[in-house]
């Protein structure tokens, strides 16, 4: 069996598992399953190819080598499931946990709601819950003549009715702000907040406490009365 190639593909799948959460909304379990299937299929293809070669070269002795190959295949499949799948799951889970790219497991928003500050309007389209985070999908529209820059770090909060405050998690490449250009262009953004809103809270507020305008404009914006469903 071509163990070297199988191990190389397994290593590639594990590396891909670490990248997958950043680009695809796939759970670590799905990533591990794909890794196991990919490695398993390759091992089976290698085994079938080896058996054919042995049978061509020596139809008699090939049967014994086929039995040995089958035993090797069984060992490889066990290693793929235990080591390859386990490693892919662990890497995918760790990257998603660190970067905030976890899969949303439940939705809590019961109705879209908007907030306005001058010509800037922010609409909350969803409030999703992951294993460790809360994700708010929003659309910002600036119908004024000046660009607005929204400060995230130490200035944006998600607050539920009980007073529980969640702060945003920023990606490695983010500078702590996002820009909403003038002219009515829609800017879609998913904000990831550390932690969860209280399960029984029925409302929340998304607060942008620091806005920078090119010129003069409002300095803050709040989306109030975000109606929530009880957490499952």
pLDDT for position 29: 76
What is this structure's pTM?
0.74
pLDDT for position 1: 46
Q: For residue 26, what are its two tokens? A: 């796939």
pLDDT for position 114: 97
pLDDT tens for the chain, 232 residues: list them.
455 666 666 667 666 666 666 666 667 777 777 777 777 776 666 666 666 665 566 555 545 555 555 666 666 666 666 777 777 788 888 888 888 888 899 999 999 999 999 999 999 999 999 999 999 999 999 999 899 999 998 899 999 999 999 999 986 545 688 899 999 999 999 999 999 999 999 999 999 999 998 777 788 999 999 999 988 6
Considering only the C-alpha atoms of the chain, give the largest distance between any 2 of them, rounded to a whole number of Å: 89
pLDDT for position 96: 84
Which residues are within 8 A (CB) of 214 and not within 5 positions of it... i.e. 6 or more apart? 146, 147, 148
Q: Decide: 205 and 161 in contact? Cβ < 8 Å.
A: no
Q: For residue 107, what are its two tokens? A: 């939705």
Q: Is 57 helix (H, G, I), strand (E, B) or coil?
A: helix
Name the residue among 136, 197, 202 with its Cα closest to residue 166: 197
pLDDT for position 213: 87
Q: Note the helical H segments in 58-132.
A: 61-79, 86-99
CA distance 89 to 197: 27
């Amino acid at each position: 069996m071509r163990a070297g190639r199988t191990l190389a593909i397994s290593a590639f799948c594990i590396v891909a598992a670490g990248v997958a959460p950043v680009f695809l909304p796939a759970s670590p379990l799905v990533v591990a399953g794909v890794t196991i299937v990919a490695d398993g299929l390759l091992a089976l293809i290698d085994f079938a190819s080896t058996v054919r070669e042995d049978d061509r070269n020596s139809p008699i002795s090939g049967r014994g080598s086929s039995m040995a190959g089958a035993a090797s295949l069984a060992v490889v499949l066990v290693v793929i499931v235990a080591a390859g799948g386990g490693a892919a799951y662990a890497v995918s889970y760790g990257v998603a946990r660190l970067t905030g790219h976890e899969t949303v497991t439940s939705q809590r928003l019961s109705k879209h709601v908007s907030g306005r500050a001058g010509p800037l309007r922010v609409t909350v389209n969803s409030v999703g819950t992951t294993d460790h985070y809360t994700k708010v999908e929003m659309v910002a529209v600036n119908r004024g003549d000046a660009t607005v820059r929204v400060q995230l770090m130490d200035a944006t909060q998600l607050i539920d009715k009980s007073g529980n405050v969640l702060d945003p998690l920023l990606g490695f490449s983010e500078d702590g702000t996002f820009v909403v250009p003038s002219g009515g262009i829609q800017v879609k953004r998913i904000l990831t907040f550390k932690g969860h809103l209280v399960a029984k809270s029925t409302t929340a507020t998304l607060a942008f406490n620091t806005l920078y305008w090119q010129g003069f404009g409002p300095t803050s914006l709040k989306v109030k009365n975000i109606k929530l469903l009880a957490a499952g």
